[in-house]
């Protein structure tokens, strides 16, 4: 976090915790604008090298995504690199065009009509206090459009249960800090959105969120999770169901969320960028993928753990 920001991360998290307990404590006037200065060329080159060369599915029509990155809470330093990664991905593969905004007016009635999906890039503490903007977003996704959430997209909507349900869960801390390297497992390695992992679990240096209700396997199809059999990983939820990536239908629309995106290195990792492309194409409606909730599959799914597990 830069010196220009009003709060240190530690101080902000304490304030945010109080705000969760007392809705309205954090007003919309106390928000830290993300630093969208140009991404260093060296990092851009690494991102370019990680982006897929072509779309997995041919778009049914020209697609356009609103990349929304407003923060009313903690601003992640990875926002600008993520914006560039998503824009370059769309341009290179031809899967979509994109527009970046931090302006809540983007959700005024009629403004979303030109878009096929909204991507929440590390947004924090969004409240959508204007009921017309809430209605616009719900009509958008329930009417058949897409929602994509990256990392802190679950750190929002504490005062709007329907939107929290739309995203699929709410941030509940990150016992797996951004300086650690954690082990991830693949659920259903043959699922279309998991093809980038080539049937292998993996390690990643990343901050990983613990997610609480409304998260449930009764609603979402889980794709990636923390491998809790791996001795690297710290305990999270009591049930050890620490999901990282999922999809689900919402009304007639589609939602894809992945909590990977705190560290810049995530956007320099080809396997993860393929996962993001395929999840985005699912949300856009171009990549057909089974989104039956995991708990309703009626079968035991294959789970591929991380191959590297340190000795006790």
What digits encode the pLDDT tens for the residues 205-254?
999 999 999 999 999 999 999 999 999 999 999 999 999 999 999 999 99
Specify whether the CB–CB gap between 276 and 82 falls below 8 A.
no
What digits encode the pLDDT tens for the residues 255-283?
999 999 999 999 999 999 999 999 999 99
Report the Cα–Cα distance between both ends of the chain, in Å, rounded.
Answer: 35
Percent above pLDDT 70 for the chain:
89
Residue 161 — pLDDT band, cuts 50, 70, 90? very high
d(C-alpha 244, C-alpha 202), whole Å: 13
- The H or E element that residue 247 is part of is strand 243-250
Residue 230 makes CB contacts below 8 A (sequence gap 6+) with 183, 305, 306, 308, 309
pLDDT at residue 32 in the model: 58
d(C-alpha 83, C-alpha 75), whole Å: 14
Residue 25 — pLDDT band, cuts 50, 70, 90? very low
Q: What's the CA angle centered on 135, arms 129 and 139, to 5 degrees?
A: 145
d(C-alpha 236, C-alpha 26), whole Å: 27
Is the pLDDT reported for residue 22 higher than 60?
no
- The CATH number corresponding to 35-304 among 2.40.30.30, 3.20.20.70, 3.40.50.300, 3.40.50.880 equals 3.40.50.880
pLDDT at residue 1 in the model: 38
What digits encode the pLDDT tens for the residues 2-16?
333 333 444 444 434
d(C-alpha 6, C-alpha 176), whole Å: 25
Q: Which of 292, 56, 47, 97 is nearest to 194 (CA)?
A: 56
Question: Model pTM greater than 0.85?
Answer: yes
Is the pLDDT reported for residue 98 higher than 60?
yes
Residue 27 — pLDDT band, cuts 50, 70, 90? very low
d(C-alpha 104, C-alpha 151), whole Å: 20
Specify whether the CB–CB gap between 311 and 175 falls below 8 A.
no
What digits encode the pLDDT tens for the residues 57-74?
999 999 999 999 999 999
């Amino acid at each position: 976090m830069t010196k220009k920001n009003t709060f240190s991360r530690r101080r902000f998290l304490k304030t945010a915790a109080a705000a969760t307990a007392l809705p309205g404590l954090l007003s919309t006037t106390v928000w830290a604008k993300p630093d969208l200065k140009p991404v260093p060329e060296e990092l851009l080159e690494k991102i370019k090298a990680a982006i897929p060369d072509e779309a997995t599915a041919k778009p049914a029509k020209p697609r356009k995504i609103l990349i929304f990155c407003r923060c009313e809470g903690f601003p992640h330093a990875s926002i600008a690199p993520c914006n560039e990664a998503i824009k370059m991905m769309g341009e290179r593969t031809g899967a979509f065009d994109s527009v970046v905004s931090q302006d809540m007016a983007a959700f005024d009635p009629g403004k979303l009509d030109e878009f096929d999906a909204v991507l929440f890039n590390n947004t924090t503490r969004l409240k959508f206090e204007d009921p017309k903007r809430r209605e616009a977003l719900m009509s958008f996704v329930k009417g058949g459009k897409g929602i994509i959430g990256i990392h802190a997209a679950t750190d929002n909507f504490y005062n709007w249960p329907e939107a929290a349900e739309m995203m699929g869960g709410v941030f509940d801390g990150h016992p797996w800090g951004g300086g650690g390297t954690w082990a991830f497992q693949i659920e259903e390695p043959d699922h279309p959105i998991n093809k980038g992992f080539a049937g292998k679990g993996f390690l990643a240096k990343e901050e990983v969120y613990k997610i609480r209700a409304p998260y449930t396997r009764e609603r979402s199809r889980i794709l990636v999770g923390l491998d809790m059999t791996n001795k690297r990983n710290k305990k999270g939820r009591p049930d050890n169901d620490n999901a990282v990536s999922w999809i689900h239908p919402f009304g007639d629309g589609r939602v894809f969320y992945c909590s990977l995106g705190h560290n810049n290195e995530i956007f320099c990792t080809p396997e993860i960028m393929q996962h993001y492309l395929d999840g985005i194409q699912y949300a856009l409606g171009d990549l057909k993928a089974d989104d039956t909730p995991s708990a309703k599959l009626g079968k035991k799914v294959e789970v591929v753990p991380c191959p590297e597990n340190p000795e006790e």
